[in-house]
Amino acid sequence: MSLYKVGGDMMEDDWEFASSSNPNRTLVLVGRTGNGKSATGNSILGKKTFKSKASSRGVTSTSELRRVIQEDGQIINVIDTPAEFIGKEIVRCITLAEGGIHAVLLVFTVRGRPTDEEQSVLYHLQTLFGSKISDYMIIVFTGGDDLEDNDETLEDYLGQECPEFLKEILELCDNRMVLFDNKTTNKRKKAEQVQKLLSLVDSVARKNNGKPFTDELFHELQEEAIKLRDQKKEVESLKGYSKSEISEFKKQIEISYDRQLSRITEMVETKLKETAKRLEKQLGEEQAARLEAEERANEVQKRSSDEIKKLRENLERAERETKELQRKLGKCINL
């Protein structure tokens, strides 16, 4: 099964033509560093365009968009994001996803246990975009090859290793999940896993009446981008000005656009800081509750082992007394 006709970046004109005549899908990859976002992006696109390699420091430093046109003409836009949620990157990602987001792919790996810290991804998404964002979420597990090597299925893995928060996320997104083996060279397997993902994307689209995710932040950024484009066109068509005057006008327009972006970025940063604080408080409370429960359990254990010790001592004493009585009784009988 061949999915792809054209790969790679398109020109602005191609994009406008394609978007007006074909349905398109914009998918955003999010998740912890090293979980395999870029590798999954490459699997979806059918070629190595995002940088993907083992590194604890994080390979992807800025949001990037790549696209592919399928045989049926559908355009798949894939946005790879850096693991860190920072205002500038979120604004960039939304600006890239011009028409809205058709699915947010939350990437986890089965090559290790999900960490509590990964819980924050959902919090950040919900704070920034509201709870509606979960209607657009799909969970991608990478490392399918590792499971296969251990003769395990995704269900086995989830049965043994799934922490509470991941169960909650899966429930929130109606168990939309797919397993990816980004290392496979088997063409059939490659195509099948992408197909499964795209059918989940279709089910997300159906659930949301075909509408991609957008919100006020999207609209605001989109308006600014349109304003920039229109103002630039207007300046270019001005008559009676020198080249340097036109380029000065353009520079002023760019400055005003950058100022608006900075304002929006600051707004996003404030929201993120609030979430981080709330999350820190919540994690602190959870940790304190866990410690208290552990202490209580230890106390109960200690108390019961003290009681067992006391019972044993009583038993031993009773045995000694019985023996003593028997000895005395023996003596009396012999007399």
Rounded Cα gap, residues 178 and 73, in angstroms = 24
Q: Which stretch binds ligand GTP (CB under 6 A): 47-55, 156-164, 189-197, 200-208?
A: 47-55
| 193 makes contact with ligand GTP (CB under 6 A) | no
The helix/strand/coil state of 153 is coil
Q: What residue has token string 């000694």?
A: 320
Looking at the Cβ atoms of 148 and 223, the one nearer to ligand GTP is: 148
| 114 makes contact with ligand GTP (CB under 6 A) | no
Q: Which stretch binds ligand GTP (CB under 6 A): 8-16, 29-37, 158-166, 221-229?
A: 29-37
Which bin fits 174, alpha (ψ -120 to 50), beta or left (φ > 0)?
A: left
Torsion over CA: 182, 187, 193, 194 (sign): positive
Q: Which stretch binds ligand GTP (CB under 6 A): 48-56, 70-78, 93-101, 151-159?
A: 48-56
Rounded Cα gap, residues 96 and 94, in angstroms = 5
CA nearest neighbour of 97 among 250, 240, 219: 219
Among 3, 25, 30, 34, interactor with ligand GTP by CB under 6 A = 34
Of residues 163-182, those binding ligand GTP (CB under 6 A): 180-182
Total residues at interface with ligand GTP (CB under 6 A): 26
Q: Which stretch binds ligand GTP (CB under 6 A): 68-76, 143-151, 246-254, 287-295?
A: 143-151
CA nearest neighbour of 34 among 69, 84, 71, 101: 84
| 59 makes contact with ligand GTP (CB under 6 A) | yes
| 143 makes contact with ligand GTP (CB under 6 A) | yes
Any bridge partners for residue 69, and if so which?
A: 6, 75
Which pairing describes strands 75-80 and 24-31: parallel, antiparallel, or unpaired? Answer: parallel
| 58 makes contact with ligand GTP (CB under 6 A) | yes
| 149 makes contact with ligand GTP (CB under 6 A) | no
Binding region for ligand GTP (CB under 6 A): 31, 33-39, 52-55, 58-60, 82-83, 142-146, 180-183
